[in-house]
């Protein structure tokens, strides 16, 4: 690459800073707000100087929101736990079902194969409300309403197609002859799948799992309709802030920060695999 | 180390939404224990498909394959005891070359020291010692190909399938490795089928060569048989560098011996008395095949004009022309050693009797191959 002149480099740096600020500023603002009292936040004129407080976090973790004079019991930590259980279990189930299915779609042609794959994908662009009402009726009938299992089941509509389609692409990139070479050396089909195909597609699987986790985490409408507060995730639980007397900006900010942490940590952990995927892809030839 | 039999093996691919493709049609081959066979043919003629059926990666559409008396059709690749070097190398990216090569042996729980010495041996054979501790993606394609070849050769399998094992190698290395690979296979009595585009490779390595074209087996024989008794027009026009001169001609009854006349009488050659069911009859249209190595320039009754003279360092390729203008008959002759002949010069030449072949004009099968003395005809 040729070296660019310094005005151009400065211009690029400025642009990058501007873009970063634009995207990072709201996050920073929310982070700051979460350490402020409502009074600090609403002060006119606003001031960047304040005494940080952990009161918002304490209230959330204790499950007691103190608004203007009244106290509201909320189960925010429980919501976070629910989010985690729902998203993690959904992704695990989807991996269990989706990775072998993706392999099958990538390697074998079978009757109606493409149609099945496409139908699964079409769940992604069907409006969820279209299926929710009938689902609600079924769920109440089957006793799945307000259960983890019921929600994990519908979450498959979100996570399974994602995993299936992303991982399928990765399997297609792995030459079948690499597995053939392994199988002709005396290994069974299953071993070649587990020892060759899956490890070679691991970066893709990691990326798909992370993405699916985020999608599941951010889902709102399924849990809103198909569950009560016992199983509801943070996205739904956060509604409680609005119905509380007055809007507690500090507590909302703290709630947001808490709800982002699990996904953030997961992304950091997965990063290793994602990068491995990029570097492996670059030299795969 | 077993004999391989292909019995009218056919492969038809049925790709979704497209016409079925006949990749292999009615292939019959019997390969003896310890024999090295080359599949030779142009791109897309079904060589790889044949190997893949033997290895078990493609189902056999029709016919049967057996190895050492055991029918393979329904066996899984792992059960067939076959080693293969793939056209695309297909090394395991996360393993070093050393581990790739040793992989199959380690799986069979061979002692580590023994595996290490075998890897060293085969690495020395193929000159990849320097690449052993590197990852496949970081070495040149020539070395990847040799590593994949090493992975196949190291196994004591019943059959070795080598799909274009030397296509990426430079000529000098190729010549050396050819000899070493052949020795390795022969020393161990290994049965091998190798695919190649290169006739020199095929001739140097294989005991017998199977020439394929458009999914069919054209001829299966020793290199000498292919050259001296090509079974049909295709083999005659494919084998040899340069291949046989092929000219449309007619057999005519002469006084005494029949003759073959080509290019409106520009070239007339005597044939021995012919008999047998396939022998060409007077009046029959045929393809006349003239082997370049048996066109002796500098003597004989025929005359031709030199168009080009190429000295290749050990032999001379002469482009000749009989007659003039549009009706002229071009011929290629090969002479051992240097030949003094300027373009434009007229030279004498002779068709040695064993360089003369006749093929049916309709179905292209061989009708006649000349014998060295030219007195007795050798009907095909
Ligand atoms: N999986 C497949 N589906 C459909 N057609 C196929 C498939 N594999 C091969 N073919 C077709 O079968 C024919 C034979 O292919 P094959 O790979 O056996 O040729 P080849 O002789 O090995 O050629 P090359 O020298 O180029 O490697 C070709 O026309 C090819 O397009
Ligand atoms: Mg091929």
Show which of B179, B213, B229 is a domain's final residue.
B229
Q: Which domain holds residue B179?
A: 4-229
Q: Domain extents for chain A?
A: 6-73, 76-274
The residue of chain A nearest to residue B136, with distances taken between CA atoms, is A284
Q: Cis ω on the peptide bond leading into residue B242 (within 30° of 0)?
A: yes
pLDDT higher than 60, residue B375: no
> Does the residue B378 lie in any domain?
no
How many Cβ atoms sit within 10 Å of the Cβ of residue A211?
16
State mean pLDDT over B27-55: 94
Q: Cβ contact (<8 Å) for B137 and A175?
A: no
Q: Are B365 and B374 in contact (CB under 8 A)?
A: no
Confidence of residue B95 (pLDDT cuts 50, 70, 90): confident
Show which of B194, B229, B264 is a domain's final residue.
B229
Show which of B206, B229, B252 is a domain's final residue.
B229
Pair (B268, B196) in one structural domain: no
State pTM to two decimals: 0.81
pLDDT in tens, A58-97: 888 887 776 656 677 778 888 899 999 999 999 999 999 9
Write down the pLDDT at residue A36.
87
Write down the pLDDT at residue B146.
94
> Does the residue B353 lie in any domain?
yes
Query: What distance in angstroms lies between residue B22's CA and the mean position of ligand 1's atoms?
Result: 9
| DSSP, residue by residue, B342-370 | -TT-EEEEEE-GGGEEEEETTT-BEEEE-
Pairing label, strands B329-336, B315-322: antiparallel
Question: On the CB side of B170, how many CA atoms lie within 13 Å of its CA?
Answer: 3
Is the pLDDT higher at B341 or at B205? B205
From CA B363, how far away is CA A254, in angstroms rounded?
87
How many folded domains does chain B comprise? Answer: 2
pLDDT in tens, A133-155: 888 888 888 888 888 999 999 99
Pair (B196, B277) in one structural domain: no
Residues of chain B found within 8 Å of residue A114, distances taken between Cβ atoms? 16
Pair (B11, B118) in one structural domain: yes
pLDDT higher than 60, residue A272: yes
Chain A: give the shortest CA distance to residue B66, in Å: 16
Q: Which residues line ligand 1 (CB under 6 A)?
A: B 13, 15, 21, 23, 41, 43-49, 87
Pair (B280, B207) in one structural domain: no
> Does the residue B55 lie in any domain?
yes
From CA B58, how far away is CA B11, in angstroms rounded?
8
Query: What distance in angstroms lies between residue A54's CA and the mean position of ligand 2's atoms?
Result: 69
The CA angle A217-A220-A223, to the nearest 5 degrees, is 95
The CA angle A160-A166-A167, to the nearest 5 degrees, is 85
pLDDT higher than 90, residue A279: no
pLDDT higher than 70, residue A265: yes
Write down the pLDDT at residue A187.
85
Write down the pLDDT at residue A283.
39
Residues of chain A found within 8 Å of residue B77, distances taken between Cβ atoms? 180, 183-184
Confidence of residue A276 (pLDDT cuts 50, 70, 90): low
Pair (B264, B211) in one structural domain: no
Pair (B113, B181) in one structural domain: yes
> What percent of chain A has pLDDT above 70?
91
The CA angle B292-B298-B301, to the nearest 5 degrees, is 90
The residue of chain B nearest to residue A183, with distances taken between CA atoms, is B78
Pair (B224, B266) in one structural domain: no
> Does the residue B119 lie in any domain?
yes
- Joined together, the tokens standing for residue B19 give 């016409």
pLDDT in tens, B154-208: 999 999 999 999 998 888 889 899 999 999 999 999 999 999 988 999 999 999 9
> What percent of chain B has pLDDT above 70?
96
Interface ipTM above 0.85: no
Chain A: give the shortest CA distance to residue B104, in Å: 5
pLDDT higher than 60, residue B80: yes
Per-position b or e across B196-207, b if 16+ CB within 10 A of its CB? bebbebbbbbbb
Q: What is the mean pLDDT of chain B?
A: 89
pLDDT higher than 70, residue B127: yes
Chain B: give the shortest CA distance to residue A126, in Å: 28
**For the CA of B45, the nearest atom of ligand 1:** 21
- Of the residues A117, A179, A181, A284, the best mutation for testing chain B's interface (the one with the most B CB atoms within 10 Å of its CB) is A181
Which alpha helices (DSSP H) does chain B contain, by range? 47-55, 97-107, 112-126, 141-153, 171-187, 199-205, 223-228, 233-238
Query: Helices A249-284 and A202-218, interaxial angle, to 10°?
Result: 160
Pair (B300, B254) in one structural domain: yes
State mean pLDDT over A27-37: 89
> Does the residue B296 lie in any domain?
yes
Pair (B110, B64) in one structural domain: yes
Confidence of residue B16 (pLDDT cuts 50, 70, 90): confident
Pair (B213, B186) in one structural domain: yes
Question: On the CB side of B107, how many CA atoms lie within 13 Å of its CA?
Answer: 19
pLDDT in tens, B207-261: 999 999 999 999 999 999 999 899 999 999 999 888 999 999 998 887 777 888 8
Q: State the CATH number of the domain containing residue B35.
A: 3.40.50.300
> Does the residue B338 lie in any domain?
yes
Query: Whose alpha carbon is nearest atom 23 of ligand 1?
Result: B44
Residue of B235, B185, B230 lying closest to B205 (CA atoms): B185
Q: Are B230 and B205 in contact (CB under 8 A)?
A: no
Pair (B218, B270) in one structural domain: no
The residue of chain B nearest to residue A196, with distances taken between CA atoms, is B92
Query: What distance in angstroms lies between residue B136's CA and the mean position of ligand 2's atoms?
Result: 21
Q: What's domain A76-274's architecture?
A: Orthogonal Bundle (1.10)
> Does the residue B214 lie in any domain?
yes
| CB within 8 Å of A14: residues ≥ 6 apart | none
State mean pLDDT over B85-114: 87
pLDDT higher than 70, residue A162: yes
From CA B46, how far away is CA B191, in angstroms rounded?
20
> Does the residue B380 lie in any domain?
no
Pair (B79, B181) in one structural domain: yes
Write down the pLDDT at residue A248.
78
């Amino acid at each position: 690459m040729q070296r660019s002149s310094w005005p151009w480099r400065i211009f690029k740096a400025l642009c990058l800073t501007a873009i970063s600020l634009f995207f990072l500023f709201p996050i920073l603002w929310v982070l700051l707000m979460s350490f402020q009292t409502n009074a600090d936040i609403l002060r006119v004129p606003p001031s960047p100087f304040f005494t940080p407080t952990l009161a918002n976090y304490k209230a959330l973790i204790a499950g007691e929101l103190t608004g203007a004079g009244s106290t509201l019991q909320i189960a925010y930590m429980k919501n976070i736990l629910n989010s985690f259980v729902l998203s993690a279990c959904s992704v695990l189930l989807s991996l269990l079902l989706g990775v072998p299915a993706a392999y099958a779609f990538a390697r074998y042609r079978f009757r109606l194969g493409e149609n099945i794959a496409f139908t699964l994908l079409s769940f992604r662009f069907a409006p969820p409300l279209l299926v929710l009402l009938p689902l609600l009726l079924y769920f109440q009938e089957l006793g799945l309403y307000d259960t983890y299992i019921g929600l994990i089941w519908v979450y498959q509509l979100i996570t399974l197609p994602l995993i299936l389609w992303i991982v399928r692409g990765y399997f297609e990139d792995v030459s079948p002859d690499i597995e053939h070479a392994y199988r002709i050396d005396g290994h069974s089909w299953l071993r070649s799948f587990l020892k060759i195909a899956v490890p070679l597609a691991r970066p893709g699987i990691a990326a798909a799992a992370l993405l699916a986790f985020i999608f599941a985490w951010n889902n709102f409408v399924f849990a809103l309709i198909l569950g009560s507060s016992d199983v509801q995730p943070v996205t739904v639980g956060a509604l409680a802030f609005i119905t509380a007397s007055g809007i507690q900006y500090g507590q909302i900010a703290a709630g947001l920060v808490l709800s982002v942490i699990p996904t953030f940590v997961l992304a950091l952990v997965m990063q290793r695999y994602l990068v491995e995927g990029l570097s492996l892809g670059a030299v795969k030839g | 180390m077993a004999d391989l039999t292909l019995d009218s093996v056919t492969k038809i691919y049925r790709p979704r939404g497209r016409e079925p493709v006949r990749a292999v049609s009615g292939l019959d081959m019997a390969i003896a224990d310890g024999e090295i066979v080359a599949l030779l043919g142009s791109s897309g003629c079904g060589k790889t498909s044949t190997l893949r059926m033997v290895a078990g990666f493609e189902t056999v559409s029709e016919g049967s394959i057996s190895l050492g008396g055991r029918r393979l059709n329904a066996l899984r690749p792992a059960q067939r005891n076959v080693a293969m070097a793939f056209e695309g190398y297909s090394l395991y990216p996360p393993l070093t070359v050393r581990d790739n090569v040793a992989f199959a042996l380690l799986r069979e729980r061979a002692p580590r020291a023994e595996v290490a010495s075998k890897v060293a041996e085969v690495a020395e054979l193929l000159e990849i010692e320097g690449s052993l501790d590197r990852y496949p993606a970081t070495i040149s394609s020539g070395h990847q190909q040799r590593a994949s070849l090493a992975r196949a050769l190291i196994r004591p399998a019943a059959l070795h399938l080598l799909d274009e094992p030397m296509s990426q190698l430079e000529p000098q290395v190729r010549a050396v490795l050819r000899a070493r690979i052949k020795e390795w296979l022969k020393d161990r009595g290994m049965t091998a089928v190798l695919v190649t585009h290169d006739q020199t490779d095929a001739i140097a390595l294989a005991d017998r060569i199977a020439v394929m074209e458009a999914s069919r087996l054209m001829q299966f024989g020793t290199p000498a048989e292919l050259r001296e008794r090509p079974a049909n027009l295709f083999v005659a026009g494919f084998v040899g560098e340069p291949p046989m001169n092929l000219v449309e001609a007619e057999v005519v009854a002469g006084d005494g011996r029949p003759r073959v006349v080509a290019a409106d009488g520009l070239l007339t050659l005597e044939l021995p008395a012919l008999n047998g069911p396939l022998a060409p009859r007077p009046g029959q249209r045929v393809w006349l095949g003239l082997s370049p190595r048996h066109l002796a320039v500098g003597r004989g009754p025929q005359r031709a004009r030199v168009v080009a003279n190429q000295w290749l360092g050990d032999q001379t390729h002469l482009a000749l022309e009989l007659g003039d203008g549009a009706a002229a008959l071009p011929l290629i002759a090969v002479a051992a050693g240097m030949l003094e002949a300027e373009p434009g010069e007229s030279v004498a030449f002779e068709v040695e009797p064993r360089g003369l072949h006749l093929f049916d004009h309709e179905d292209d099968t061989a009708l006649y191959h000349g014998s060295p003395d030219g007195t007795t005809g050798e009907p095909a």
